[in-house]
Chain A
Amino acid sequence: MTDQTDHSRRNFLYVAAGGLGAVAGGAVAVPFIGSMLPAADTLAAATTEFNVGTVAEGQLVVVQWQGKPVFITNRTPELLAQLDGHDDKLKDANSEAIEAVQAAWMDTPEKRKNRSIKPEYLIVVASCTHLGCIPLYKPSKGRTEWGDSVPSDWAGGWHCPCHGSYYDLSARVVNGSPAPHNLHVMPYKYTSDTVVVIG
C-alpha cells in the first residue's frame, strides 16, 4: 500500500459517498415537498360548474372557484353601451399588460373591450389587483345612486372599498386607482349554451 494510491482511493470514496448522500437528500426532499402541493381531492375540486342562465339581467353573482370569489355579471345592452367612450381614462383598455388579464379567445377589439366569451356574461376573479379585497358592484352611471363614493364622470363598474380603486363594467382599471391591473380573467369554457366550467 503506497501513500499515493491510498489517498486517491480515499478521496474517491469520500466524493462517491458525498455524492450519493446529496442524491439521497434530494430524493427525500421530493416526497416531502411534494406532499405540501395540493392533494388529489383538492385538485379534483379545482373546477367549478355554473349555469349562467340563472343570473338575472343586470345582476351580479359571486361564485367560488378554488376558494376564491368569482364575479359573474349579466350585462344588458345598456350596460354594454357604457363600456364605450372612456378608453383614455383606463390604464389598460385592451387588456395587454400581463398574462393574467387576457385570454386566447380575446382575438377581436370587440372581445378585448367586453373581456368575455359571450358579450353579456363577464366572468372575472373578484379580487382587486391592488391587495385582494372584493370590489363593490356599482353598475349605474353617474353619482345618483352612489353619491361621492364614485367620481363625477362614473361610467359604471366596480369600486374597491379598501383603497378606492375603480373598474369599469368590463373590470378594466381606471386611471388614478392604486390597483395596477384589470381584474384577472381565469380560464373557463362553455360546455353547453349556458353551463360554464371555470378552471
Chain B
Amino acid sequence: MLDTIMKTKVFGWVDRRLGLEAIIKSQLTEYPAPKNLNWMWVFGALAMTVLMLQVITGIFLAMYYKPSAMLTDGGFSVAFDSVERIMRDVNFGWLIRYMHAVGASFFFLVVYIHMGRGMYYGSYKEPRELIWIVGVVILLIMQGAAFFGYLLPWGQMSFWGATVITNLFGAIPVLGEYIGQILMGGFSVGDPTLNRFFSLHYLFPLLLVAIVGGHIHALHTVHSNNPDGIDLDQHDPKNVVTFHPYVTMKDAFAVSVFLLFYSYVVFFNPQMGGYFIEVDNYVPANNLQTPAHIAPVWYLTPWYTILRSFEVKLVGIAAMGASLAILFVYPFLDRSKVRSARYRPMYQGMVIMFFIDVIVLGYCGHSAPTETLKLVGQIATAYYFVFFLALPFLPMIEKTRPLPEGV
C-alpha cells in the first residue's frame, strides 16, 4: 500500500523537497527489527498511543476547563464547576474527560510494563544505556505531569495530595522553604498553585513528546534488543524483518487489543472502583478538612511507601529521591556481559522478585498504614535497593547459560 503512495506524482514532488523516501526507507520499510521480538515489545507503541490520546483529549478539555479556585455556591469552586460542566453540559465532555482520566492510569500501566520488559531482557545494557536513561527522564516527566494534572479538578484529593507533596519538598534543608513557595506561589496550596499547575500540566506533555523523539532516535541508532539479548547482524534476513509492514501490523493489532481494554474501562468502569478516579475527588476541595484516608493515585504509591518507611521525614525524602535516581545508574550497576534474564538464572529470580516487590510497595502505599503493613513496606523498600546494589557483584557468582548463535 505504501509502495503505491510512494509511486504517485505528488509524493515525488514532496520527496524532491523533503527527502521523504529516504526517511521512510531508513525508519520504516528498511529499518531492521529482530525477527524474534515477542509480544512484550508492543508496549512502546502502546505508550505512544496513550500519549497521543492524552494530548488530544487534553487539548479539548482545556477549551472548557477553568483554573480558578474562586469559591462558588455550595462550597465548590470555578475549577470544580468547570469540570462538572464538561461532565454534564459539554457535548461528549464526559467521554473526553473519562478518556483523559482513565488514560493517565493506562499510560503508567503501559509504561511500567514497558520498563519491566527492558529490565527482564536487559534492554538497558550496553549499547542501549542512553535509551534507558532518556526513558527514566520520560518517567519523571510523566510523574510530574500526573501530579500537576491531579490538582486541576480541585477536589479533596487534588488539594490534599498537592499539599502533602509540596510539604515534602519543604522538608529539604535550606532550599525547602523556597521550593515550596515556588511550587505553591503562596504559603499554602491555593489559587496561584492551581494556575501554575495548569500551565505546567500543559507544558510537560510537550516536553514529553520532544523527549520521546530522543528516546526513539537513540533506539534507531543502536536498534532493538531481543528476547535472547544477543547481538544480531542487522542485515541478515535470517535475523531481522523490516519494521514495516511486519512490526507495524503487529503493533496495530496490539493497539486494537489495548483499545478494547481501555474502552472497557472508559465506558463501563471509569472510576475503576476508586483506583483511577478517587472517591474523595468528587468532594470539593476544603482546606479546613483532610479526608479520612489519603493516598496518592495507584501509580505513585510504590514511591509513597518508600517515603513512609522511614521515621525521619528527611531520610524518607532522600530514600524516595534515591529510589528514582538509582534508575539512572542501573545500566552501569549491572556488570554482566549477558543481557537477557533467560540466560541469567540468578538475575531472573532477582528481577521477578523486584517486580513483585514493586507491586507490594504499591499495595502498602495505597492502604491505610498499620504496623504489619509498615514492616512489609520497610522490607520491600530494603529489597528495592538491595536489588540494584547487588547487581555489581552478581557476575562473580552467577553462572550464565550459553547464548544461542542466532534467532
Direct contact, A vs B (beta carbon within 8 Å): yes
For residue B1, CB closer than 8 A to chain A, the reply is yes
- Are the CB atoms of B252 and A17 closer together than 8 Å? yes
Q: Hey, which chain B residues are within 8 Å of A18, CB to CB?
A: 1
Considering only residues 47-96 of chain B, those with a C-beta below 8 Å from chain A are 56, 60, 63-64, 85, 88-93, 95-96
A39 to B84: give the CA distance in the assembly, Å. 12
A15 nearest in chain B by CB position: B1
CB-contact partner of A35 in B1, B60, B88, under 8 A: B60
A41 to B84: give the CA distance in the assembly, Å. 12
Main secondary structure of the interface of A (DSSP, over half): helix
Q: Mark A36-68, 1 if CB is under 8 A from B, else 0.
A: 110111100000000000000000000000000
- Are the CB atoms of B93 and A39 closer together than 8 Å? yes
CB-contact partner of B85 in A34, A37, A39, under 8 A: A39
Q: Hey, which chain B residues are within 8 Å of A37, CB to CB?
A: 91
- Are the CB atoms of B91 and A35 closer together than 8 Å? yes
The interface size bin for chain B is 10 to 19
Q: Hey, which chain A residues are within 8 Å of B85, CB to CB?
A: 39, 41
Q: Hey, which chain B residues are within 8 Å of A35, CB to CB?
A: 60, 63-64, 90-93, 96
Instruction: Tell me how many residue pairs across A and B have CB atoms closer than 8 Å.
Output: 38
A41 nearest in chain B by CB position: B89
If A14-B1, A17-B252, A32-B56 touch, does A40 touch B89 (CB 8 Å cutoff)?
A: yes
A36 to B96: give the CA distance in the assembly, Å. 12
- Are the CB atoms of A36 and B63 closer together than 8 Å? yes
A157 to B92: give the CA distance in the assembly, Å. 46
CB-contact partner of B91 in A14, A17, A39, under 8 A: A39
- Are the CB atoms of A32 and B60 closer together than 8 Å? yes
A59 to chain B, nearest CB (A): 36
Q: Hey, which chain A residues are within 8 Å of B93, CB to CB?
A: 35, 39
A40 to B87: give the CA distance in the assembly, Å. 11
B59 nearest in chain A by CB position: A32
A35 to B92: give the CA distance in the assembly, Å. 6
Q: Mark B1-38, 1 if CB is under 8 A from A, else 0.
A: 10000000000000000000000000000000000000
B1 to chain A, nearest CB (A): 6
A155 to B404: give the CA distance in the assembly, Å. 99
For residue A109, CB closer than 8 A to chain B, the reply is no
B182 to chain A, nearest CB (A): 35
A121 to chain B, nearest CB (A): 33
Q: Hey, which chain B residues are within 8 Å of A42, CB to CB?
A: 89
Q: Hey, which chain A residues are within 8 Å of B56, CB to CB?
A: 32
CB-contact partner of A39 in B1, B60, B64, B95, under 8 A: B64
A41 to B88: give the CA distance in the assembly, Å. 9
Give 22 A-B contacts (CB < 8 Å), ordered by A residue: A17-B252, A18-B1, A30-B92, A31-B92, A31-B96, A32-B56, A32-B96, A34-B91, A34-B92, A35-B63, A35-B90, A35-B92, A35-B93, A36-B60, A36-B63, A39-B85, A39-B89, A39-B91, A39-B93, A40-B88, A41-B85, A41-B89
Other A-B pairs, 18, CB within 8 Å; known A31-B92, A42-B89: A14-B1, A31-B95, A31-B96, A32-B56, A32-B92, A32-B96, A35-B60, A35-B63, A35-B64, A35-B91, A35-B93, A36-B60, A37-B91, A39-B64, A39-B91, A40-B88, A40-B90, A41-B89
